[in-house]
Amino acid sequence: MTNIIMLGCNGRMGQMITDIVAKDDEAQIVAGIDIVNNRENPYPVFTDIKDCDVKADAIIDFSSANGFEERMDYAVDKQIPIIVCSTGLSDEQLDYLKEASKKLAVLKSANMSLGVNLLIKLVKEAAKKLATEGFDVEIVEKHHNQKLDAPSGTALALADSINDEMGGQYEYVYDRSKVRQKRDKKELGISAVRGGTIVGEHDVIFAGTDEVVTFSHTAYSRAVFGKGAVEAAKYISETYHCAVLCKGGHQLNDANDLLYRDGGYKWFNGKRIDNPNTHGTGCTLSSAIASNLAKGYDLDTAVERAKAYISGALAAMLDLGHGSGPMDHGFDFRGKGFAEEKA
């Protein structure tokens, strides 16, 4: 079961995803975040993300660009993988996202629909053949009259995929009304249409001499974006969902280890032992944890017992050979019962 925190839960996409997840046996929304809490939802809703203390496997963000940095800080602090579906992010916010992605799993897509992501792949392949043969490239996107950003993030993602494939040779042109000159071969035109209730349409046009090749995608419902976001949450959770132990021992006085799992933390405090013979401490600790798990102990207890074992092995002060030697693995064969199985 993938536990999800839904950012922007009371917006149109948030409610769409709420309905989709309600019918999914492998996922559930455990909390929502929205500055306006004016709906009844089958999960707790927080108006301030800092107040959310619910454990989760993934975050889906369909909220606006406002407050983006705070949301990323929350994901990094809680170490919860995040699927970023927000559009209209500034260059500075995209840089912020890239920095955050060095600290946790981030999936960013301008469009979560399966069809659009396939379209991105197809136009890259088309560009390799058609653009090199002199075809002009134009992108036309259409959306409803309530959409704030233009051009759409999807249109820019399509343009970037083509431009990357062609070595960055294109210059994006958004408005030709003020320039009276022929189209430059290195232009990539992007046009935006806003009207009615159009969910989303994207045409990528390769215009050559006496022929035109057009790749099109039309979304008839926002459900395609919501379903893709839910699948992304499952994927990122299943791919990276594991417990992580950050081993201490490098400070001057303490040797505190941090265990992270299921969106939560637990510290295992210890005293640093001044012993230069520390060769193999990481391998010994992980082996001791695995051994205790095999004996039937839960993870927290296994880590606690393994930490006590390695502290004792270091404190025995075995001095064997030259350089940084091993610790005394056999220091307590008849002592505190490290070899005992769980009762």
Q: Which two tokens stand for residue 91?
A: 């260059």
Please give, one letter per residue, the 3-state secondary structure of the chain.
Answer: CEEEEEECCCCHHHHHHHHHHHCCCCEEEEEEECCCCCCCCCCCEECCHHHCCCCCCEEEECCCCCCHHHHHHHHHHHCCCEEECCCCCCHHHHHHHHHHCCCCCEEECCCCCHHHHHHHHHHHHHHHHHHHHCCEEEEEEEECCCCCCCCCHHHHHHHHHHHHHCCCCCEEECCCCCCCCCCCCCEEEEEEEECCCCCEEEEEEEEECCEEEEEEEEECCCHHHHHHHHHHHHHHHHHHCCCEEECCCCCCCECCEEEEECCEEEEECCECCCCCCCECHHHHHHHHHHHHHHCCCCHHHHHHHHHHHHHHHHHCCCCCCCCCCECCCCCCCCCCCCCCCCC
Among the listed residues 78, 142, 143, 234, the single catalytic one is: 143
Q: Which two tokens stand for residue 36?
A: 């306006």
C-alpha to C-alpha distance for 106 and 83, rounded to whole angstroms: 6
Amino acid at residue number 8? G
Amino acid at residue number 195? G
C-alpha to C-alpha distance for 96 and 70, rounded to whole angstroms: 11
Q: Respond yes or no: is residue 185 known to be catalytic.
A: no
Q: Respond yes or no: is residue 322 known to be catalytic.
A: no
**Within 10 A of 124 (CB to CB), how many other CB atoms are there?**
16
Check whether the bond before 151 is cis (ω within 30° of 0).
Answer: yes
Among the listed residues 147, 247, 279, 329, the single catalytic one is: 147
Residues carrying an active site annotation: 143, 147
